[in-house]
A and B are shown apart, each in its own frame.
Chain A
């Protein structure tokens, strides 16, 4: 039975082939069979994790607590120079200039990306907006979130900053970032499950050396990363604690 690698469903569609290329590199590096399984959404991926089907995961930080503290996953690496940041955007001609201009009852378009939705919810708190006094419409992708904002179906959209910046120029021109997170310390990470725990150290070292290897750097390029950086267990625990503080919603 090969091991299973999966990727947080919020990866940029341009990088699907990159993950297949990475999986091929990984199998050679570990000399193990690894099957890449891409789930359509976070719920399907979490079900697979709960039934212990997943052995390696490029995980969304929101799921890190569950993976590390409940399922015994260990951190391996994170992409270098990349952090998860979020953008709340309105239509370019919107009269809203700052978050505090917003009031209860607003309509929001968002994907099911849990860390982006959490960061954006926090950026709405200064206007005392929360899940109870706003209406959320879930969209399958960030371009669909953008479309809903541009067509006036909603008042604002929640975006992963990277996804917002990858929208076409025509689309971006019709949107205006209202607030952009500058958190810097929330990031996706590659984790190994209990069945591969004995390869954690080796894998960390192999990944850290990828950017210096001509073949490895090509693989990184296809993923859109500059490098992999080793993640120590305490660094992972720190991010989990930080995410835990963010789940608090003021009354």
Chain B
């Protein structure tokens, strides 16, 4: 996965290096610009069992700012924001690999360095008894819940 490109960033940014569970790392550029979650929409994507994106809907593309071509084939952590505690994603993977649904509030990173909050549900796609991939559906979160996460997430690092 490519590092973020300063030419894509809107506004002043800070630099971070993220290290993922698979041992890879990415240089990311983040701003303080929040994009509100649009009313009435669901952001939907699917991945293979390894977390590689195989399908995204229009709302996903619109909010992430990446094109569909840029997203397909990339690991889902292309959206990982440095303010998200790694423990949240460990819990996500531990839960879905057991075949269970995971729910959580997630701050996602956009291609332009901005962010958006979602209430995410991830469900394993079980076909003939085997997990063939995962479907993630995000919806608009309650602001009070987001404010709670803004307070608690920094304590989870």
B14 at the interface (CB under 8 A from A): no
Q: Within the complex, what minimum Cβ distance (angstroms) separates B16 from chain A?
A: 29
Flag if A248 contacts B103 (CB, 8 Å).
yes
Flag if A242 contacts B40 (CB, 8 Å).
no
Flag if A181 contacts B123 (CB, 8 Å).
no
The SS class assigned to the B binding surface is: mixed
Pick out which of these stretches binds chain A: B4-12, B24-32, B73-81, B136-144.
Answer: B136-144
A244 at the interface (CB under 8 A from B): yes
Flag if A245 contacts B142 (CB, 8 Å).
no
A122: which B residues are within 8 A, CB to CB?
139
Flag if B57 contacts A184 (CB, 8 Å).
yes
Partner of A237, one of B121, B125, B143: B125
B63 at the interface (CB under 8 A from A): no
In the complex, what distance in Å separates the CA atom of A127 from the CA atom of B143? 8
A234: which B residues are within 8 A, CB to CB?
127
A125 at the interface (CB under 8 A from B): yes
A182 at the interface (CB under 8 A from B): yes
Write the A158-180 contact mask toward B (1 if CB under 8 angstroms, else 0).
00000000000000000000011
Which residues of B, 98-157, contact A by the 8 Å Cβ criterion?
101, 103, 119, 121-123, 125, 127, 135, 137, 139-145
In the complex, what distance in Å separates the CA atom of A184 from the CA atom of B61? 15
Flag if B135 contacts A238 (CB, 8 Å).
yes
> Which chain B residue lies CB-closest to A250?
B119
Write the A224-251 contact mask toward B (1 if CB under 8 angstroms, else 0).
0000000000100110011011101010
**How many residue pairs at the A-B interface have CB separations less than 8 Å?**
69
B42 at the interface (CB under 8 A from A): yes
Flag if A244 contacts B123 (CB, 8 Å).
yes
A242 and B39 contact, Cβ closer than 8 Å, known pairs A237-B125, A250-B119 = no
In the complex, what distance in Å separates the CA atom of A250 from the CA atom of B135? 18
B53 at the interface (CB under 8 A from A): no
Q: Within the complex, what minimum Cβ distance (angstroms) separates B146 from chain A?
A: 10
Flag if B41 contacts A126 (CB, 8 Å).
no
Flag if A182 contacts B41 (CB, 8 Å).
yes
B101: which A residues are within 8 A, CB to CB?
244-245, 248
The SS class assigned to the A binding surface is: helix
Partner of A99, one of B39, B44, B139, B144: B39
Flag if A126 contacts B143 (CB, 8 Å).
yes
Flag if B125 contacts A245 (CB, 8 Å).
no
Partner of A123, one of B40, B58, B119: B40
In the complex, what distance in Å separates the CA atom of A184 from the CA atom of B119? 19
A196 at the interface (CB under 8 A from B): no
A128: which B residues are within 8 A, CB to CB?
142, 144-145
Binding site for A on B (CB under 8 A): 37-42, 44, 46, 57-59, 101, 103, 119, 121-123, 125, 127, 135, 137, 139-145
13 further A-B pairs in the complex, CB-CB below 8 A; given A100-B143, A182-B59? A99-B39, A125-B141, A126-B39, A126-B140, A181-B41, A182-B38, A183-B41, A185-B57, A241-B123, A241-B135, A242-B42, A244-B123, A250-B119
Q: List 15 A-B contacts (CB under 8 A).
A: A98-B39, A123-B40, A126-B140, A179-B39, A179-B40, A180-B40, A182-B40, A237-B125, A241-B123, A242-B137, A246-B137, A248-B101, A250-B141, A250-B142, A250-B145
